[in-house]
Structure 1
Amino acid sequence: MPSNSKPFIEKINRIPSVSNILEVACDITGMGFAAIARVTRDSWVACVTKDIIGFGLQAGGTLDIETTICNEIMDHHQTVTIDHVDKDPVYRDHHTPKLYGLQSYISVPIILKSGAFFGTLCAIDRVPHQVSSPKVIKTFTLFAELIAFHLDAQEQLAESSKILKKEKRESEIREEFIAILGHDLRNPVNAISNAVQLQLRSELDERNMRLAAIIRDASNRTKGLIENILDFASGRLGGGIKLNLENQLTLEESIAQIIAELQVAWPDIEFVTNISLSAPLRADYKRLSQLLSNILGNAIMHGEKEKPIEVKVNQVNGITELIISNSGNPIPVQILPHLFKPFSRGKVKTGQEGLGLGLYISKEIAKAHGGDIRVESTIEKTSFIVTLS
């Protein structure tokens, strides 16, 4: 048996109905031997057989390809039927029936979805049988198509499994890369931040105090940029934004904390909150705080400084809405379709430059919660509406 035939024998024997196919093939024709064969230019190998007449060929058994009719079927892809060799004008002098002592024969090609020729479903006997009837030919053709279907399905399953394993490994590598990247970026920035905090607590003259404050603000901004880069990498390269539903603070406390932090940086900005929850919200409040911080930062940069920024939370029919509204010029129509795309920014004032990832990450956080973000922008106000299911 050719060494490369073993996988094909295993594939055929994995087909659940293969033994029933051969049994029915023998029953419907009355013939004593049936087989599914793998046929190539170089070999004829029996993948599975049913031998009642003692033909002597078992699974793995081979025939010289040149001595078979399957050799011809491989070229023309047509069914061959012989009811009675001695009376058949085409095959009565053919070498195959003479060599193997056959009087009746049927062989149907097994053609895969790709159009490739796999082999044949065949039956033989040493006595004549009526095998050229439409009923027999249709049955054998149906069986051949069923075998081809199972072979294609196995091939697709194997390919899918191979792809999944590759994607899993690539995903693991990406996750490792993101983790290493986060560690290597955060460590030096944290060291700078900790050092400058110590400096700010010491006695410094006015000039050094101002320089230390600049370093502190720059390191805080760099931390934010690193977090955005890592979240972007997780969303695009890894498995998406990760959620932790074990919260240390309530949603109200989380929102209050973010607003308090922003008011330290922008003491002149007024925030108005209205939180109404009829049921606890199952969510990652730290991630929602990040989302809120990104959108509020956007509102601070682009809104009217003299008018308050509103933060409203309500629940209707099991859907939670987080609405952040600010007064100011409406968002230009041409910018709206690109607002939540990564690296997308409108006009940015000096000192407010960023990577353009904040709104993209906010949308990814909402999607991770089974929700979304939309924006409504008019002359009166601009509202970012976050829905969470």
Structure 2
Amino acid sequence: MANDIQQDVEVMQGIAAIPGILEVMCRSTGMGFAAVARVTEDRWIACQVLDNIGFGLPAGGELDVETTLCHEVRQFRDVIVIDNFAEDPFYCNHHTPHLYRLQSYISVPITLPDGRFFGTLCAIDAKPAKLSDPQTLATFKLFAQLVGFQFDAAEKLSSARASLIGEKAASELREQFIAVLGHDLRNPVASLTGGISILQREPQTEKSTRVLNIMRSSLLRMSGMIDNVMDFARGRLGGGIALQRDHDNPLGPTLEQVVSEIRSGHPERSIEFDHRLSDVVPVDHQRIAQMFSNLLGNAITHGSADHPIRVNATIAEGELHLSVANAGDPIPQEALEKLFQPFKRGEKGSSLRGLGLGLYIASQIAEAHGGRLEVNSDERETRFTFRMPASAAQQEQAAQ
């Protein structure tokens, strides 16, 4: 039995997607510690851990199962979520928060596809957190389901039945996750957006109008975060970012539309846009617009509000060049080296609201087009530049 439990832990430790899942959990909720745990009647073992608060429990470490709320999750196979132990009428006097000095807690059961209970996907923090809203609960349940599917696939691959699990099954699993992610996260956002639209057509007070505008802005930002997580899932779990190149329409109007949208959302900021794109460049307009919007949004967030953002798009020496430059503090060298990695964000400013996927997704879109995204930053300016072959023939030659 002990060998079986240790084997389960080792299989779960080998799943490469889990660190990213734990990172998303902590980034999206503000929680400092997250883990995937193997939970049995008499043991609690951490399989993989993200510890940003010095809780001190490493992967492979154990807790007395009776001291954890995961013990109750195993018994009842249901989520336990607590925004603030001190204010929770049922758990305020429970021994777990006092023992581990907790204020917020969420634990979701990990159930394997065949119905077996594996353990929990859990997060804790020493300060209160907003965890009980439907969006957060849906996200945690989705991630717990993904972990269960991943473990099941890994377990089968390590057993005598591995020959029965081919690329087709793995591909179906990846596509299932991406489809569930899109459905379960997008539908609540769409419903809330529709509800706000209905309310905004009714007579409103000045205060309610302001609140509805804030809610709409938050939903737009949430939608963007979902798009980034979807693209991250496709890039890491699927076959990368797919493109639908347009060989007929010029790129200029697409870029103009992005600039117009950013200007309307930030009327206080100055954006100088200069483009000379008379020739058609075979690109996926929607993806280039997404990349461009991420770069402009980054410039809005980190650039100096006292200086304009300068955008230039042109074709030179057979390449499309698209650059976004802003004044402001230079990016430290150590940050430059990790800038296009997922979940890497600045240490200050409103960027803390995001998941740190914007520049990563932008770099993946650039690579999908056979191009590259570069950054130069000094005391004068920070400039992101996208370069790619401008013609279909050059793109084919670069691909070879």
Which band: TM-score by shorter chain?
0.5 to 0.7
Paired position in structure 1 for 2:300: 300
Deviations 1:14-73 (A, max 9, x none): xxxxxxxxxxxxxxxxxxxxxxxxxxxxxxxxxxxxxxxxxxxxxxxxxxxxxxxxxxxx
Amino acid at match of 1:384: F
Per-residue deviation at 1:260? 1.2
Paired position in structure 2 for 1:166: 166
Per-residue deviation at 1:350? 4.5
Change (3 A) 1:333 1:236: same
Task: Determine what percentage of the aligned residue pairs are the same residue.
Answer: 40
8 A contact 1:250–1:285 mirrored in 2:
no
8 A contact 1:247–1:286 mirrored in 2:
no
Paired position in structure 1 for 2:377: 377
**What's the TM-score once normalised by structure 2's chain length?**
0.54
Q: Are residues 1:354 and 2:354 paired? A: yes
Change (3 A) 1:350 1:294: closer
8 A contact 1:247–1:284 mirrored in 2:
no
8 A contact 1:374–1:384 mirrored in 2:
yes
Paired position in structure 2 for 1:286: 286
Paired position in structure 2 for 1:338: 338
How far apart, CA to CA, are the structure 1 residues paired with 2:383 and 2:164? 41
How far apart, CA to CA, are the structure 1 residues paired with 2:333 and 2:268? 29
Q: What is the correspondence of 1:38-53 to structure 2 with a 5 Å cutoff?
A: none
How far apart, CA to CA, are the structure 1 residues paired with 2:223 and 2:211? 18
How far apart, CA to CA, are the structure 1 residues paired with 2:233 and 2:192? 24
Per-residue deviation at 1:352? 4.8
Per-residue deviation at 1:278? 5.6
Q: Are residues 1:223 and 2:223 paired? A: yes
Paired position in structure 1 for 2:269: 269
Q: What is the correspondence of 1:71-82 to structure 2 with a 5 Å cutoff?
A: none
How far apart, CA to CA, are the structure 1 residues paired with 2:328 and 2:236? 33
Amino acid at match of 1:309: I
Per-residue deviation at 1:182? 0.4
Q: Are residues 1:251 and 2:254 paired? A: no
How far apart, CA to CA, are the structure 2 residues paired with 1:186 and 1:255? 26
Per-residue deviation at 1:168? 3.4
8 A contact 2:301–2:351 mirrored in 1:
no
Deviations 1:340-371 (A, max 9, x none): 00000112325752100000000000000011
How far apart, CA to CA, are the structure 2 residues paired with 1:319 and 1:344? 29
Larger radius of gyration: 1
8 A contact 2:250–2:279 mirrored in 1:
no
Q: Are residues 1:181 and 2:165 paired? A: no
Per-residue deviation at 1:250? 3.7
Counterpart secondary structure, 1:235: helix
Q: What 5-or-longer segments of structure 1 have no aligned partner? A: 1-161
Counterpart secondary structure, 2:269: coil
How far apart, CA to CA, are the structure 2 residues paired with 1:314 and 1:212? 40
Amino acid at match of 1:253: P
Per-residue deviation at 1:225? 0.7
Change (3 A) 1:242 1:257: same
How far apart, CA to CA, are the structure 1 residues paired with 2:194 and 2:185? 15
Deviations 1:91-143 (A, max 9, x none): xxxxxxxxxxxxxxxxxxxxxxxxxxxxxxxxxxxxxxxxxxxxxxxxxxxxx
Deviations 1:180-229 (A, max 9, x none): 21022111101101110221122111222122112111111110110010
Amino acid at match of 2:357: L
How far apart, CA to CA, are the structure 2 residues paired with 1:173 and 1:320? 37
8 A contact 2:313–2:323 mirrored in 1:
yes
Amino acid at match of 2:193: S
8 A contact 1:271–1:309 mirrored in 2:
yes
Higher mean Cα deviation, 300-309 or 350-359? 350-359
How far apart, CA to CA, are the structure 2 residues paired with 1:330 and 1:356? 18
Q: What is the correspondence of 1:1-389 to structure 2 with a 5 Å cutoff?
A: 166-246=166-246, 250-277=250-277, 279-350=279-350, 352-389=352-389
How far apart, CA to CA, are the structure 2 residues paired with 1:190 and 1:306? 36
Deviations 1:303-362 (A, max 9, x none): 111211111112223221111111111111110000000000112325752100000000
Change (3 A) 1:257 1:304: same
Per-residue deviation at 1:279? 2.9
Change (3 A) 1:228 1:247: farther
Amino acid at match of 1:318: G
How far apart, CA to CA, are the structure 1 residues paired with 2:189 and 2:383? 34
Amino acid at match of 1:292: F
How far apart, CA to CA, are the structure 1 residues paired with 2:376 and 2:163? 42
Amino acid at match of 1:275: H
How far apart, CA to CA, are the structure 1 residues paired with 2:217 and 2:315? 37
8 A contact 2:308–2:326 mirrored in 1:
yes
How far apart, CA to CA, are the structure 2 residues paired with 1:166 and 1:320? 40
Amino acid at match of 2:220: N
Per-residue deviation at 1:264? 1.6
8 A contact 1:366–1:386 mirrored in 2:
yes
How far apart, CA to CA, are the structure 2 residues paired with 1:212 and 1:248? 40
How far apart, CA to CA, are the structure 2 residues paired with 1:335 and 1:164? 44
How far apart, CA to CA, are the structure 1 residues paired with 2:312 and 2:371? 17
How far apart, CA to CA, are the structure 2 residues paired with 1:178 and 1:298? 26
Amino acid at match of 2:258: I
Change (3 A) 1:220 1:329: same
Equivalent pairs, count: 228
Amino acid at match of 1:226: I
8 A contact 2:345–2:351 mirrored in 1:
no
